Amino acid sequence: MKVPFKKANILLPKNCDMTKWSVIACDQYTSEKEYWDKTKEIVGDSPSTLNLVLPEIYLEDSDVEERINSINSNMEKLLAEDFFKEYPNSLIYTERTQKDGKIKEGLMGIIDLEAYSYEVGSDSMIRATEKTVIERIPPRVKVRENASLELPHIMILIDDEEKDIIENIKNTTTEEDKLYDFELMQEGGHVKGYLLKDDVADEIINKLDKFTDIDYFNNKYGVTENNPLVFAMGDGNHSLATAKTCYENLKKTMSEEEYLNHPARYALVELVNLHSDALEFEAIHRVVFDVDVNHLIDELSKYYEISYEECDGQKMTMITKDDEKDIYIKNPKSNIAVGSLQIFLDDYLKDNPGKVDYIHGDDATRKLAQGDNNIGFILPAMKKTDLFKSVIVDGALPRKTFSMGHSDDKRFYLEARKIK
């Protein structure tokens, strides 16, 4: 099997203020208009990816159609003005210095959407790690379907515990290979990018090929699968699902030869190693509001075998107005505690009043859980090493299973690629 990752024809601005050009992913600061107002103020009249993407905070606005038309015309205008320099058949190595000083290394290239599925139960080589919310795709399709360019904030993970692939690239680059090196706006840190030499790029793709070997895969994870999970979604799952949807729609209008050779068959992404020191998983806790607390606890005890004594079960902390205690699920329905809890809550809330919310931080969870008719669950942070095995065994994990890094450290739009 060949790895579904290839060199790409990557576009970068020839000459502009890169700090103003590059803005944060559209799915960040969705409730903080002031962030986007400040971004607009910083950008001013300068060329910027802000004018080529639709921040989600504006998705419900009355002028959304107008914004989408403007995005499409802005793309056409830049292409007509010969604004970009194209780096054909290339890979770009990136170094992102985060706010905490840690460096996240990445690799820009294209993945083959023929090898990706976000469907529940998928065994494709590229898989979603969390359940895809189908309702979130159509608004994004409207943005992409007539666009001539894609600008990705998609981060895809590889499970390279030996740190042999991406982390070794820096030993092959020189100052002459550097394509960009600048500060990102609004405390986004710093980013550098290097064009890889052909022989280096070819060697990386050859190294990635080992992940497609089914015997290697089954031995590594202790499973007996027919198809390997090679790439797991990190960030931008709904953006990749949108690219897939647009490609599948396009296929209906073309011959097989046409669509297999169409640029929309691929999506530009950044590969990052799951084992990067800069990548930290944080737990997302649960609080259920306006619920009959005692009834929920009784039903949880019927649903699972619960122990209040320390044991080998999946541990979480249960908090009510009157009590806080550790509980252990001895017969879980998921590979991880958050999955087992979410399965129960989804079932319980189908038939009972109550509303679940997803909370960052232990203190915030405790405070909310102590309200009348509320109950909270503090969950352990998922181990990075559990991610691939959990997706293989359980399929896509429940929504809001984990958070990967802070908002400021999310990917910024920078590189582009023609999709028409």
pLDDT digits (tens, 9 = 90+) for 255-288: 999 999 999 999 999 999 999 999 988 888 999 9
Residue 33 has pLDDT above 90, yes or no: no
Q: Tell me what pLDDT residue 419 has.
A: 96
Burial class, 184, CB count within 10 angstroms (exposed 0-12 / middle 13-18 / buried 19+): buried
pLDDT at 216 exceeding the cut of 80 = yes
pLDDT reported for residue 43: 96
Which residues on neighbouring strands pair with residue 116, listed in sequence order? 126
Of 360, 357, 355, 353, the closest CA to residue 402 belongs to 360
Tokens standing for residue 231: 């790439």
The answer to whether residue 248 scores a pLDDT higher than 90 is yes
pLDDT top residue among 335 and 92:
92
Model confidence at 395, in pLDDT bands (50, 70, 90)?
A: confident
Q: Bigger pLDDT: 31 or 331?
A: 331
Express each pLDDT in 179-206 by its tens digit.
999 999 999 999 999 999 999 999 999 9
CB atoms within 10 A of CB 163: 13
φ, ψ of residue 217 to 5 degrees: the values are: -65, -50
Q: Lowest mean pLDDT of 18-27, 82-91, 123-132, 319-328, name the range.
A: 123-132
pLDDT value of position 339 = 87
DSSP type of residue 195: E
Q: What is residue 377's predicted lDDT score, i.e. its pLDDT?
A: 97
Q: How far apart are CA 125 and CA 122, in angstroms?
A: 9
44-65 mean pLDDT: 91
Range 394-399 average pLDDT: 80
Beta-bridge partners for 287: 357, 376
Show contacts of 184-187: CB within 8 Å, 24+ apart.
184/19, 184/22, 184/24, 184/412, 185/19, 185/20, 185/22, 185/23, 185/39, 185/42, 186/24, 186/35, 186/38, 186/39, 186/42, 186/408, 187/99, 187/408
Do residues 359 and 366 make contact, with C-beta atoms less than 8 angstroms apart? Answer: no
Residues in the chain: 420
pLDDT of residue 331: 96
pTM (2 decimals)?
A: 0.85
pLDDT at 406 over 80: no
pLDDT of residue 159: 96
Strand-strand pairing, 126-127 and 231-235: parallel
**Cα 211 to Cα 164: distance, rounded to the nearest angstrom:** 13
The token duo for 191 is 């980013």
Q: What is the pLDDT of residue 166?
A: 97
Query: Tokens 């292409």, residue?
Result: 79
Classify the C-alpha dihedral 363-364-366-370 as positive or negative: positive
What the block records as the tokens of 95 is 């170094």
Q: What share of the chain in percent tops pLDDT 90?
A: 78
Cβ burial 287-307 (10 Å sphere, 16+ → b, else e): bbbebebeebeebbeebbebe
- CB 136 within 8 Å of CB 406: no
What's the distance, CA 160 to chain centroid? 18
- CA–CA separation, 305 and 303 (whole Å): 7
Answer yes or no: is pLDDT of 303 > 90. yes
- Give 380's pLDDT tier (boundaries 50, 70, 90): very high
Phi, psi at residue 342, to the nearest 5°? -65, -35
CA distance 51 to 67: 9
pLDDT interval class at 244 (50, 70, 90): very high
Question: Mean pLDDT over residues 225-245, rounded?
Answer: 92
pLDDT (0 to 100) of residue 112: 97
Single out the residue of 270, 86, 92 nearest to residue 194, CA to CA: 92
* More reliable by pLDDT, 122 or 200: 200
Q: What is the DSSP letter of 229?
A: -
Residue 228 has a pLDDT of 96
| pLDDT for 134 | 77
pLDDT, mean over the chain: 93
Q: How much is the pLDDT for 412?
A: 95
Q: Nearest 5 degrees, angle CA 99-CA 100-CA 106?
A: 75
pLDDT at 100 over 80: yes
Q: Which two tokens stand for residue 196?
A: 């890889």
Which of 138 and 341 is assigned the larger pLDDT? 341
Taking CA 215 as the corner, what is the angle to CA 212 and CA 219, rounded to the nearest 5 degrees? 110
- CA neighbours within 13 Å on the CB side: how many for 62? 0
What pLDDT is attached to residue 60? 81
